[in-house]
Amino acid sequence: MPETKNLPLMFNEEELAMLENSHLINLISQIKGDITKFYTENKVVSDALTLEELMHVNALMMSRKFGLSNESVDDCMVPYGDMLNHGKERNVDY
């Protein structure tokens, strides 16, 4: 997974301040609270990862998931989904 820290869940206080008066600030706070609760209540997870690592993995997954219209699956990860092109000219490669 990419090492990027430029996802909203990983923003520092200065970056979060730029989102003031946005609905995202409350959403980010709620997600961080949910992840922190999950982390503290699951020793297997906390033994394997730091809270920051879990936040990072969650941020990457949330930014790369695809929603499905399926009764048994709501969201999924798509291998190489980051490489999908949205324009006529190819702008990514592996």
CA angle 60/64/66 to nearest 5° reads 145
* Confidence at residue 87, expressed as pLDDT on a 0 to 100 scale: 67
* Confidence at residue 65, expressed as pLDDT on a 0 to 100 scale: 78
* Confidence at residue 74, expressed as pLDDT on a 0 to 100 scale: 76
Task: For residue 32, give the nearest of 14, 7, 58, 50 by alpha carbon.
Answer: 58
Residue 24 lies inside a defined structural domain of this protein: yes
pLDDT profile of the chain (94 residues), mean per 10: 72 90 91 95 94 89 75 74 68 62
Q: What is the pTM of this model?
A: 0.69
Residue 89 lies inside a defined structural domain of this protein: no
* Confidence at residue 39, expressed as pLDDT on a 0 to 100 scale: 96
Residue 3 lies inside a defined structural domain of this protein: no
Q: What domain count does the chain have?
A: 1
